[in-house]
Amino acid sequence: MTTECPNCQRLQAELDTVRVKLEEALSKIAALEAELRRGHRQAAPFSKEKPKPNPKPPGRRPGRGRFSYRATPPEEEIKRTIEVPLKACPDCGGELQERSTHEQIQVDLPKVEPIITRFRTESGYCPHCKKRVRSRHPEQVSSATGAAKVSIGPRAKGLGADLKHRLGIPYRKIEGMFEVAFGLKVTSSGLCQSNGRLARKAEPAYKELVEAIRSCASVHTDETGWRMGVLSCWLWVFTSKTITVYTIDESRSHEVVVDILGKQFRGVLVTDCFKAYDHKALSRWLQQKCFAHFLHQLSSLEKEKTRGAVRFPRQLCRVLREALGLSKERSKMSRASFEREVSRLEGRLDELIDEGRRFTDPDNARFAKRLRKQRRHLLTFLRLEGVEATNSRAERALRPAVIVRKTGGCNRSESGAKTHAVLASLLVTLKQQGRDGLGYLASVLTAPADPPKLLPAPLSDTS
């Protein structure tokens, strides 16, 4: 029986230790690479955090109405009734007893086919005007003849614009959907050119929106990365309860905010803490900083910190949540009681972020400094009724743009960026107001000159 030498045994043990350490290192590298890939992803459903132990159940969100089954349509709406008799048992052919009648109603889409309309117009020379004139029907979107005499109608063009610029569906998918659902053959390039012409005709309505949002009592704004060809740009959104304006600019500075809202803006600007909103040009504006951002960051601090360092984020989070709860109870309280509660919360907040307070944790110190900088913009929603505490409205308005960026690759030219800003603004605003977006775009396309007014009367609620 032979035995290995002590030196060989020692070397084997060292080799096993190195092998174990190498496996651990490779595992860590793989985890870091996965985290790096996850950090570069731009779209849901990928998350950077661990799954929640008690996630929200799927289904209807609270406050979206009581659940109910689909209502039975009125008798006059039922277009056809099909009798399905049962003469005998389908399995053995035997005679049936204790017969019953059952009713089941099915709601479906009809087969949609294009409506082809031929316009026969007349033309003639006017000696008085010294020019040739021509008749035109109100439903015509073009007066072209010859090789270009066949064109797509206004509602089809409006639907293509809505699918692209409000819902973020790429042109090629719209092309396929039109053929499958409607039997209408269109091309991606034709839809793109049609949207460009539509946006140029609708530009006066876009300017009308810009003027209208300047008079809103509260405006939410946010921005996201964009591309215009090879240029890095930013897509901005300015939105209220009834109006939304998009603009695409190469700048991410305060100048974009001033260009859209004007130097004399008198409403409340609801934003995150991006430094452009702290420029001296906006120093006299009323602002509300987003509570959702603060609460998310405080929640992260609370998870990371231990022992005494966890007290600051926990206490501050409690104060901010109390402020949100107080805002919801405003209508149930007297004015004096509400003001007392606001003063109490302001005192607690000032005490927590006081400049003279010593912080042992540098992250807590930085967060307190940040809140001191934004102190006068933290509780505006308690002082002014109707102002929201979070910037969720602007973030929701950016989601369609993020889909467009992911599926369509932003814009290739300045004219394409202008087209997207104009049409997205009009369509989202019409959706907010519960109006027929396709009908309005069709009226823009068939208007002989300027488009119809988008806001014919002062809005009852532009907060």
Q: Domain check: are 245 and 138 in the same one?
A: yes
Please report whether residue 361 resides in a domain: yes
- Asked whether the beta carbons of 233 and 252 are under 8 A apart, the reply is no
Q: Domain check: are 284 and 306 in the same one?
A: no
Residue 36's region, left for phi above 0, alpha for psi from -120 to 50, else beta, is alpha
Q: Domain check: are 271 and 403 in the same one?
A: yes
Question: Residue 48 — pLDDT band, cuts 50, 70, 90?
Answer: low
Q: Domain check: are 280 and 295 in the same one?
A: no
Last residue within a domain, chosen from 383, 414, 434 = 383
Q: Domain check: are 186 and 221 in the same one?
A: yes
Lowest mean pLDDT among 138-142, 175-179, 376-380, 422-426: 138-142
**Secondary structure of the chain: what % helix, strand, coil (to 5)?**
50, 10, 40
Q: Domain check: are 270 and 303 in the same one?
A: no
In this prediction, what percent of the chain has a pLDDT beyond 90? 39
Please report whether residue 36 resides in a domain: no
Q: By CB neighbour count within 10 A (0-12 exposed, 13-18 middle, 19+ buried), where does 417 fall?
A: buried
For residues 404-423, give the mean pLDDT.
88
Check pLDDT > 70 for residue 372: yes
Please report whether residue 100 resides in a domain: no
Tens digit of each residue's pLDDT (9 = 90 or more) over 140-157: 888 888 888 888 888 999
Q: pLDDT at position 355, please?
A: 86
For residues 313-335, give the mean pLDDT.
90
Q: pLDDT at position 218, please?
A: 93
DSSP 453: P
Q: pLDDT at position 460, please?
A: 43
The side-by-side arrangement of strands in the sheet containing 268-271 is 244-249, 231-239, 218-228, 268-271, 286-289
| Nearest of 246, 210, 206, 207 to residue 226 by alpha carbon | 246
Check pLDDT > 90 for residue 26: no
Tens digit of each residue's pLDDT (9 = 90 or more) over 447-461: 877 788 887 654 444
Please report whether residue 41 resides in a domain: no
Q: pLDDT at position 1, please?
A: 46
Q: Give the whole-angstrom CA distance, residue 249 versus residue 417.
A: 9
Give yes or no for a cis peptide into 45 (omega within 30° of 0).
yes
The DSSP H or E segment spanning 30 is helix 6-40
In this prediction, what percent of the chain has a pLDDT beyond 70? 92
Q: Domain check: are 326 and 399 in the same one?
A: no
Q: pLDDT at position 455, please?
A: 78
In this structure, the chain runs to a length of 463
Q: Domain check: are 346 and 407 in the same one?
A: no
Q: Give the whole-angstrom CA distance, residue 98 versus residue 101.
A: 10
Q: By CB neighbour count within 10 A (0-12 exposed, 13-18 middle, 19+ buried), where does 165 fall?
A: buried
For residues 112-135, give the mean pLDDT.
89
How many other C-beta atoms can be found within 10 angstroms of the C-beta atom of residue 302?
16
Last residue within a domain, chosen from 323, 349, 383 = 383
Q: pLDDT at position 449, please?
A: 78
Check pLDDT > 80 for residue 46: no
As a whole number, the mean pLDDT across the chain is 86
Check pLDDT > 60 for residue 340: yes
Write phi, then psi, for 156 (nearest 5 degrees).
-65, -40
The total number of structural domains in the chain stands at 2
Tens digit of each residue's pLDDT (9 = 90 or more) over 266-312: 999 999 988 999 999 998 899 999 999 999 988 888 888 888 888 88
Q: Domain check: are 252 and 195 in the same one?
A: yes
CA atoms within 13 Å, Cβ hemisphere of 355? 3
**Residue that wins the pLDDT comparison between 346 and 65:** 346
Please report whether residue 21 resides in a domain: no
- Domain containing 243 equals 129-289+391-457
Question: Residue 21 — pLDDT band, cuts 50, 70, 90?
Answer: confident
Question: Residue 61 — pLDDT band, cuts 50, 70, 90?
Answer: low
Q: Give the whole-angstrom CA distance, residue 128 versus residue 17.
A: 103
Taking CB atoms within 8 Å and a gap of at least 24, the contacts of 139-148 are 139/446, 140/446, 141/445, 141/446
Q: In angstroms, what CA-CA distances link 52 with 37, 47, 48?
A: 21, 11, 12
The DSSP H or E segment spanning 131 is strand 131-134
Last residue within a domain, chosen from 383, 402, 425 = 383
Q: Domain check: are 207 and 324 in the same one?
A: no
Check pLDDT > 60 for residue 2: no
Q: Domain check: are 451 and 347 in the same one?
A: no
Q: Domain check: are 323 and 440 in the same one?
A: no
Question: Residue 67 — pLDDT band, cuts 50, 70, 90?
Answer: low
Please report whether residue 62 resides in a domain: no
